[in-house]
């Protein structure tokens, strides 16, 4: 008797719980990095004159925070929609679409922060490089978790046997 991953009812909630926990960890570490970051002002000389420009928190850090907040909504939606509305076809396709958006946003998020950190030691203004590197690693693991759950969700939707709604009269 073989049991596929899509038929395992215990694996899916465990993966969703890990996604939820990692999203909270990423919110904490990325939030700390954003909080302690000290922006800097630089004088920029142009042909028409010079000006002072303020450089604040990089946008990639904020996007990683958005990915973590989005993940909490995705996990709640997937758990509710997977159990309560499993027989509706449009909910199944919506589940796949939400999963795909989360998967792609996590891929873009951790890659953007990793490219922003670079391979050098902590540059000037990056007080909390350790927290940001931890958030990047957890973001990569979160992306891998979404790769697994996206595969499970797609296979569950494609292999589901929906019953047509019958009238009670």
In a domain, 15, yes or no: no
What predicted TM-score, i.e. pTM, was given to this entire model?
0.79
Structural domain contains residue 167:
no
Does 33 map to a domain? Answer: yes
Residue 169 located in a structural domain? no
The answer to the question of residue 6 being in a domain is no
- Token look-up 């758990």 returns 79
Each residue's pLDDT tens digit, 88-146: 677 888 889 999 999 999 999 999 999 888 765 566 656 678 888 899 999 999 999 99
Residue 93: which domain range?
A: 22-158
pLDDT at position 41 over 70: yes
In a domain, 164, yes or no: no
Q: Provide, rounded to the nearest whole percent, the portion of the chain with pLDDT above 90.
A: 41
In the chain, how many domains are there? Answer: 1
Question: Quick one: pLDDT at residue 42?
Answer: 80
pLDDT at site 70: 93
pLDDT of residue 165: 56
> Does residue 2 lie within any of the structural domains?
no
Residue 64 has pLDDT above 60, yes or no: yes
- 96 compared with 42, residue with greater pLDDT: 96
**Is residue 77 assigned to a domain?**
yes
């Amino acid at each position: 008797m073989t049991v596929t991953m899509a038929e395992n009812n215990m694996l899916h909630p465990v993966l969703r719980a890990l996604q939820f926990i990692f999203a909270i960890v990423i919110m904490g570490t990325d939030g700390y990095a954003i909080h302690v970051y000290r922006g800097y002002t630089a004088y920029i000389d142009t042909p028409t004159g010079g000006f002072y420009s303020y450089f604040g928190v990089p946008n990639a850090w904020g996007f990683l925070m958005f990915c973590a907040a989005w993940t909490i909504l995705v996990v709640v939606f997937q758990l509710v929609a997977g159990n309560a509305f499993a027989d509706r076809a449009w909910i199944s396709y919506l589940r796949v679409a939400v999963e795909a958006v989360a998967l792609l946003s996590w891929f873009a998020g951790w890659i953007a922060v990793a490219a922003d950190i670079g391979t050098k030691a902590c540059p000037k203004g990056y007080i909390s490089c350790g927290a940001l590197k931890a958030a990047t690693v957890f973001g990569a693991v979160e992306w891998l978790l979404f790769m697994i759950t996206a595969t499970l969700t797609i296979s569950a939707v494609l292999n589901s046997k929906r019953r047509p709604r019958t009238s009670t009269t």
